[in-house]
Chain A
Amino acid sequence: MELRDKILEVVVEVAELTDCELVSNFTDSTILLESGLDSLGFAILVARLEEELDYDPFVEMEDAVYPTTFAEFVSIYSQDK
């Protein structure tokens, strides 16, 4: 499965888990803060992805990067480890 689709799958799962309703037109350009996930949801999302991918880029990066859109979020995960 493509990394983007894998991440999207986890986003949907986490939204379900936290009773958050994702915006209906969820795309690469969706702004994360407006996606419907709340802060607990994001915390779970990153922790879940760490389990699935064995990798937490937010811990490993040297300078803090705050992704705005879903595409930016995915690109952080697809950068070389």
Chain B
Amino acid sequence: MQLINYVQKHESSTTLFSYQQKDFSVEDFLSEVKLVRCNFMSELKGKKICLKLKSAYDFIVMVTALDGLCSSILLLPYDLDVDSTEVLSLEHESFRIIDNLERPLLAKIGEADLSSKITFSAKTDWVLATSGTTGRPKLINHTLASLIRTCKLLKKSKSNQNTWGLVYQPQRFAGLQVLLQAMLAGNKLVIADGVFQNQVEALIHGEINCLSATPSMWRKLLINGKIKELDFVQITLGGEACDKTILSSLSKAFPNSRIFHIYASTEAGVGFSVKDKLLGFPKGWLETGIDGVKLEISTNNTLLIKPNMLPKGAEIAKRLDKNGFIDSGDVVSIFGERVIFQGRDSGAINVGGNKVHPEEVESILRELQEIRDVKVYGKTNPMVGQLVVADIVLERRTTNSDELKVLKKKIISSAKEKLELYKVPNFLTFVDEIIINSTGKVDRNND
């Protein structure tokens, strides 16, 4: 089934999208999709097409129109640099890169053409780029079926009243999950893009009650505070390791909401979700698996995943071990009955040969009530490789140097109580905010 068929199942008057404070019904949306199909039908049929559109709504129209028409769609984030765009579209063998949807052109199509049923039956690959945190982004071949595998599971729940917010870019895996989830269920999706303040306004104005975002983004939303007036039923976290503080702050702010921590990646698709509001996942899953996904811990303490449906292609095949597991690169440890995420294997700071996971240090520091937010990263040092640095946002800002001195002492001594000495930050800098990048994650790559 094509994406357009899923949309056609919904009542035509149902509001499907809200973008820049304008609502689009199923009818509005489908007529635009059909216009695009009419326009591009002869030119793009059976071709490989690269989409790199800035407007999230245009992107959604376009991808719905092309699914079933083209043989393959490469979805690139609109802010991807020129070099990577060229390399990836060449690798994909894109026939054309569409980076602008020209509406005046669309308007020329007459009503008569529209009413004719435009159906195609091509099997379309959905090709996504990995975030490329470890080098150049790689192409991963998905299909609509592999992308919506878990959406169907969620669809069974009574979701008619759900209004989803979209703060991720829809061209990336996490955003696509939210988009497809809402489109399949016929839920309104409030597309909140642009700068943070505009995103918040859009979410509030759209009265969303479901939102999927990274822990960093949730932290930012809680700090901003406006989000607290919304009545959430579904809170989803993903993309980064959760810590105790974010889970407890969210449960406190939204006691009636479900809180899921989704474990997914562009490579492996959605692995599993944890629904008990606790850190990590139950140790028992290493034996039994979860939702058809098998889990193991490698000798390097990274989590190995074997999903029941994997994207195809050479890039994936290369990453599978002989038993069909894919190394997630996420380091885990077992504490009691839980398997806890420590951080990215590639993101560890190396202090004189000792590995320090910034996420672990951050989560310890966040437990201090004086600290509102924190980012931990490595600073190159000729003698020991790297030193641990922490940028700190205080709960109560101060510029009084004596007060700051006392705070520094308190932060360090509290870190020393809970962490090995080499993990304790050697430098504390007080900053106004922690910047998150376009994927909603904290960028720790600055030195």
Residue pair A17, B426 in contact (C-beta under 8 Å): yes
Q: Interface residues of B toward A: which range?
A: 10 to 19
A43: chain B residues within 8 A (beta carbon): 352, 381, 383-384, 387
A16-60 interface (Cβ within 8 A of B): 17-19, 39-40, 42-44, 46-48, 51, 58-59
Would you call B412 an interface residue if the criterion is a C-beta within 8 Å of the partner chain's C-beta atoms?
yes
Residue pair B384, A39 in contact (C-beta under 8 Å): yes
Shortest Cβ distance from residue B231 to the other chain A in the assembled complex, whole angstroms: 46
A51: chain B residues within 8 A (beta carbon): 427
Residue pair B422, A40 in contact (C-beta under 8 Å): yes
B351: chain A residues within 8 A (beta carbon): 40
Shortest Cβ distance from residue A48 to the other chain B in the assembled complex, whole angstroms: 7
Residue pair A47, B352 in contact (C-beta under 8 Å): no
Residue pair B382, A17 in contact (C-beta under 8 Å): no
Residue of A39, A46, A48, A58 near B352 (CB, 8 A) is A39
Complex Cα–Cα for A39 and B351 (A): 11
Complex Cα–Cα for A44 and B421 (A): 13
B180: chain A residues within 8 A (beta carbon): none
Residue pair B427, A47 in contact (C-beta under 8 Å): yes
Most buried by B among A19, A40, A44: A40
Count of A-B residue pairs with CB < 8 Å: 34
Interface of chain B, helix or strand or loop or mixed?
mixed
Most buried by B among A17, A18, A42: A17
Q: Which 8 A-B pairs have the closest CB atoms?
A: A43-B383, A43-B384, A44-B426, A43-B381, A47-B381, A47-B387, A40-B384, A19-B421
B127-174 interface (Cβ within 8 A of A): none
A42: chain B residues within 8 A (beta carbon): 383
Residue contacts A-B, CB under 8 angstroms, 13 given: A18-B421, A39-B352, A39-B383, A39-B384, A40-B352, A42-B383, A43-B381, A47-B381, A47-B387, A47-B427, A48-B427, A51-B427, A58-B382
A46: nearest chain-B partner, CB-CB: B383
Given contacts A17-B426, A47-B379, A47-B381, 4 further A-B contacts (CB under 8 A): A17-B412, A40-B351, A44-B426, A47-B387
Complex Cα–Cα for A44 and B412 (A): 14
Question: What 1/0 mask marks residues of chain B from 398 to 435 whose CB sits below 8 Å from any chain A CB?
Answer: 00000000000000100010000110101100000000
B422: chain A residues within 8 A (beta carbon): 40
Complex Cα–Cα for A17 and B428 (A): 12
A56: nearest chain-B partner, CB-CB: B382
Question: What 1/0 mask marks residues of chain B from 351 to 382 whose CB sits below 8 Å from any chain A CB?
Answer: 11000000000000000000000000001011
B379: chain A residues within 8 A (beta carbon): 47
Interface of chain A, helix or strand or loop or mixed?
helix
B415: nearest chain-A partner, CB-CB: A17
Complex Cα–Cα for A59 and B380 (A): 13
Complex Cα–Cα for A66 and B327 (A): 45
Shortest Cβ distance from residue A40 to the other chain B in the assembled complex, whole angstroms: 6
Complex Cα–Cα for A51 and B379 (A): 12
Complex Cα–Cα for A59 and B384 (A): 14
A17: chain B residues within 8 A (beta carbon): 412, 424, 426
B382: chain A residues within 8 A (beta carbon): 58-59
A18: chain B residues within 8 A (beta carbon): 421
Complex Cα–Cα for A4 and B382 (A): 23
Complex Cα–Cα for A10 and B438 (A): 39
A48: chain B residues within 8 A (beta carbon): 426-427
Shortest Cβ distance from residue B349 to the other chain A in the assembled complex, whole angstroms: 13
B412: chain A residues within 8 A (beta carbon): 17
Shortest Cβ distance from residue B227 to the other chain A in the assembled complex, whole angstroms: 37
Given A18-B421, A39-B384; A47-B416 close (CB under 8 Å): no
Complex Cα–Cα for A48 and B421 (A): 17
Complex Cα–Cα for A42 and B382 (A): 11
Complex Cα–Cα for A48 and B351 (A): 16
Most buried by A among B387, B421, B426: B426
A42: nearest chain-B partner, CB-CB: B383
B247-273 interface (Cβ within 8 A of A): none
Complex Cα–Cα for A42 and B427 (A): 14
Shortest Cβ distance from residue B378 to the other chain A in the assembled complex, whole angstroms: 12
A59: chain B residues within 8 A (beta carbon): 382
A44: chain B residues within 8 A (beta carbon): 387, 426
Complex Cα–Cα for A46 and B352 (A): 15
Residue of A19, A39, A47, A58 near B426 (CB, 8 A) is A47
Complex Cα–Cα for A53 and B325 (A): 51
Shortest Cβ distance from residue B336 to the other chain A in the assembled complex, whole angstroms: 28
Residue of B352, B383, B416, B427 near A19 (CB, 8 A) is B416
